[in-house]
Amino acid sequence: MLVCANLRIPRDVCTIVGMLRGTVVLAMVLTFVGACAGGATQETDGIKVVASFYPLAFVAEQIGGDDVSVANLTSAGTEPHELELTPKQLSAISEADLVIVMGNGFQPGVETAAKNGGATTLSILDLFDDPEAADPHVWLDPDKMRVIVDAIDSALGAVDAEKSESYHTEANRLKTELATLNADLESGLASCERRDLFTAHDSFAWFGLQYGLVAHGVAAVNPNSEPGPERLVELADLATASGATTIFAESLLSPEIAEALAQEVGNLQVAVLNPLEGLTESQVESGDDYFSIMNSNLMVLRDALDCV
C-alpha cells in the first residue's frame, strides 16, 4: 500500500489493514502510528505558571525547568507598563496553576485579571516592607531577588508538592548565582569617583541603596509620565554639582527623556542602563538573560562613574 510506504508503517500492520479493507480500521491504525511517532514532541504534564513580566518569568523558568510551563505575559520588546491583555492571555490567567505578579499597581490589569480569575496568585511586593517600597524594581538588587526566588520556590512547591524537592534544589542553585553577582557588584562599585546615578525613570532606588549610590530618575516610577520643566532644571543642577558625565536611557524606552536632561545640562553623554523590565527581541535571540544584563550594567556603571 502506497500510504503505508509513505508513512513507513510496518509491512505486517499494513497486511492486516489490507485484509480488513476497513477505512475505519485504517484510520485507527494511522492514528495509533502517528501518536507513537509524535510522542517525543508532546507537551509535558507540568504545571502552568503565568508571570506578568520578564524577571518573574525568568525565576519561575529557572526553578521549574521542564516540569513547569511558564507564560510571560509581556512579550520581548514591550515595556511592561504598556501591557494590554488579550482574550487569550486572560484565559491563560484563569487556567493557570499559579500567577505571579508584582502587585501594588505595577500592572493593574494583570492583578485585576488574576483576582477575578480565581487563580492562586503570588504578589511579589507583598514580600517587602522597606523605605524604597515606592520603587517596585526590587529585582535589580540581587539580595532582594533571592527573596523572590524563595517565594516562587515555595509557591511552586505548594501547587506541585511532588516536585517540591527538585524546585528547592534549583532555587538554591539560583540563589548561589545571585550571591556571586551581588559580590561582583559590591566589589565593582566600591570605589567610584561619583556616586550619583541619573536614569530615565525612577528604577534604581533599590539598586542604589544596596551599593551606596544615589539614584535620580527624570520621570516617575511609571516611565510614561512626562517630567515637568522644574524637574529637568532640578536634576540639571544636581548633575552639574555632582560632576556627572552620563544620563542613562533604557533599551525599552525612547531616549527622549534622557536626551532632554543631557540637553539641559549641556555636556552629559547618554548611555543605556537596563532596569530589566524586559528583554528586547535581539537580546532574546543572542541568549541574554538576567545575569548577562546585570553584568553588562556593571561594566556600563563602572565606566560612567569612574570606578577603580
| Pair 89, 120 in one domain | yes
What is the DSSP annotation of 151-188? HHHHHHHHH-GGGHHHHHHHHHHHHHHHHHHHHHHHHH
- CATH number assigned to the domain comprising residue 81: 3.40.50.1980
Specify whether 255 is located in the same domain as 282: yes
For residue 7, the model assigns a pLDDT of 37
Residue 189 and residue 302 in contact, taking contact as beta carbons nearer than 8 Å? yes
For the stretch 274-287, what's the b/e string if a residue is b when 16 or more beta carbons lie within 10 angstroms of its beta carbon?
Answer: bbbbbbeeebeeee
Of 222, 149, 226, residue with least CA distance to 182 = 149
- What pLDDT is stored for residue 299 in this prediction? 98
Return the bridge partners of 217, or none: 199
Q: Output 174-178 pairs: Cβ under 8 A, ≥24 positions apart.
A: 174/59, 174/62, 174/63, 174/149, 175/146, 175/149, 175/150, 177/291, 178/142, 178/143, 178/145, 178/146, 178/149
What is the span of the domain harbouring residue 243? Answer: 189-304
282 and 199 both lie in a single domain = yes
Contact 298, 188 (CB under 8 A): yes
Segment holding 105, helix H or strand E? none
Lowest mean pLDDT segment, chosen from 18-22, 247-251, 273-277, 285-289:
18-22
Q: Give residue 37's pLDDT.
A: 33
What local confidence, expressed as pLDDT, does residue 29 receive? 33
156 and 118 inside one domain? yes
State the DSSP code for 192.
B
| Residue given cell 517540591 in the structure block | 164
Are residue 37 and residue 54 in the same domain, yes or no?
Answer: no
Write out pLDDT tens, residues 162-174: 999 999 999 999 9
Where residue 11 falls among pLDDT bands split at 50, 70, 90? very low
- Beta-bridged to residue 247, according to DSSP, are 270
160 and 227 in a single domain? The answer is: no
- Count of domains in the chain? 3
Lowest mean pLDDT among 88-97, 133-142, 204-213, 219-228: 219-228
Span 156-160, mean pLDDT? 97
214-219, strands of its sheet edge to edge: 214-219, 196-201, 246-249, 269-272
- Cell numbers given for 299: 561594566
pLDDT number for residue 60: 98
Segment 11-40 mean pLDDT = 37
The string of pLDDT tens digits covering residues 209-244 is 999 999 999 887 666 667 778 888 999 999 999 999
Q: In the structure grid, which three cell numbers stand for residue 16, read together?
A: 492486516
Residue at which a domain ends, from 156, 185, 214:
185
Confidence check: pLDDT of 41 > 70: no
- The dihedral through the CA atoms of 171, 176, 178, 182 has a sign that is positive
Q: Please, which pLDDT band fits residue 133 given cuts at 50, 70 and 90?
A: low
Q: Are 170 and 201 members of one domain?
A: no
Task: Say if residue 195 is in the same domain as residue 181.
Answer: no
Same domain, 238 and 166: no
215, 300: one domain: yes
Alpha helices in the chain (DSSP H): 2-7, 11-20, 23-37, 54-64, 87-95, 108-117, 142-159, 164-188, 205-211, 229-242, 256-265, 281-285, 290-304
**192 has which bridge partners?**
307
Instruction: Please tell me whether residues 166 and 235 are part of one structural domain.
Output: no
pLDDT in tens, 49-69: 999 999 999 999 999 999 999
Confidence of residue 129 (pLDDT cuts 50, 70, 90): confident
